[in-house]
Amino acid sequence: MPEENENLDLFDEVEEVVSRDGKKVKRRGVFLLPNLLTTAALFFGFFSIISSIKGDFISAGMAIFISGIFDGLDGRVARLAKAQSEFGAQYDSICDVISFGLAPAIAVFLWGLEDLGRVGWIFSFLFVAATALRLARFNANMGSEDSFFKGLPSPAAAGMIGFFVWAMSASGIQGNLVPDLLSILSAILTGSVAVLMVINVPYYAFKEIENKRRVPFIFLLGVVFFVALLALDPPLVLVICTSIYVLSGPVIWTVKRLRN
């Protein structure tokens, strides 16, 4: 006979212990909207992988971009709706490993690293592993980070790789066109971005902007200007903007070291 506490339900409810009015209570179920947005981010990450396998690197890069949008929305929606949960945080990180770790790694491998053989897939795996480590550290330190992230955020790292492949493919440049040069450059870029994810280089988190209901008018003009530029040449603009953010971390670290 089954034990009394054994649960034989095919679809077990998620149960969390939360604080409500200073008391610990159990809450069953999951929040719908934030987790739907997380699932949408996962879908586009999966779509990016399928596109890369088919050799459509433009669609793969676009899918990573859209996945990043949904990933940015799910956390903000959860905070605005007071629908944050431990389940949502863990689910988001698992999905991020696929969308921002596996998807860009497969894209850059099939586009420019495959000709390097074992070295190519080692660099691709290094990127996936760094993404998983970055997300695990973020979860472990959740709530303790201030205005700066410790290490390059995984969506920005994925954007750097995915947008690079997208821009090159949109320009008609394939990784096997000049194998030696492009393969080596792709490996250096992939390895460098992977390292930046796991070392303690500070990256601005934009938390002040997120927490403010009102922003300066110039900020709105900047957003409009960015959208206008994005319409002209999306992959090139995204590569430039992401590169500036990726390089900002080492610059901030260097400035802080010099001041100390």
pLDDT level of residue 12 (50, 70, 90 thresholds): low
If one looks up domain 24-259 in CATH, what number appears?
1.20.120.1760
209 CA to centre of own chain? 19
Quote the CA–CA distance of 239 and 257 in Å, as a whole number: 28
If residue 13 lies in a helix (H) or strand (E), which one and from where to where?
Answer: none
Quote the CA–CA distance of 217 and 229 in Å, as a whole number: 19
What average pLDDT score do residues 51-75 get?
Answer: 94
Residue pair 156/208 in contact by the 8 Å Cβ criterion: no
Task: Give the whole-number percent of the chain exceeding pLDDT 90.
Answer: 50
pTM of the predicted model, to two decimals? 0.85
Does residue 141 sit in helix, strand or coil? Answer: coil
pLDDT of residue 144: 60
Residue pair 249/199 in contact by the 8 Å Cβ criterion: no
Exposure b/e, 31-58, CB count within 10 A at least 16 = b: beebbebbebbbbbbbbbbebbeeeebb
Comparing C-alpha atoms, which of 158, 108, 164 is closest to residue 132?
A: 158
Using the predicted structure, report yes or no on whether residue 145 has a pLDDT greater than 80: no
Residue pair 102/49 in contact by the 8 Å Cβ criterion: yes
Residues 6+ apart with CB under 8 A from 160: 189, 193, 239, 242, 243, 246
* Average pLDDT along the chain: 84
pLDDT level of residue 1 (50, 70, 90 thresholds): very low
pLDDT of residue 71: 92
If residue 201 lies in a helix (H) or strand (E), which one and from where to where?
Answer: none
pLDDT in tens, 188-239: 999 999 999 999 899 988 776 655 566 677 777 888 888 888 888 899 999 9
Comparing C-alpha atoms, which of 91, 85, 1 is closest to residue 37?
A: 91
pLDDT in tens, 66-120: 999 999 888 778 777 776 777 888 889 999 999 999 999 999 999 989 888 899 9
Q: Which of 29-33, 87-91, 172-176 has the lowest mean pLDDT?
A: 29-33
What does the domain layout of the chain look like in residue ranges? 24-259
pLDDT in tens, 129-143: 999 999 998 888 776
Quote the CA–CA distance of 100 and 93 in Å, as a whole number: 10
pLDDT of residue 147: 76
Burial class (CB in 10 A: 0-12, 13-18, 19+), 104: buried
Question: Amino acid identity of 91?
Answer: Y
Comparing C-alpha atoms, which of 153, 29, 162, 30 is closest to residue 96?
A: 153
Whats the size of the chain, residue-wise?
A: 260
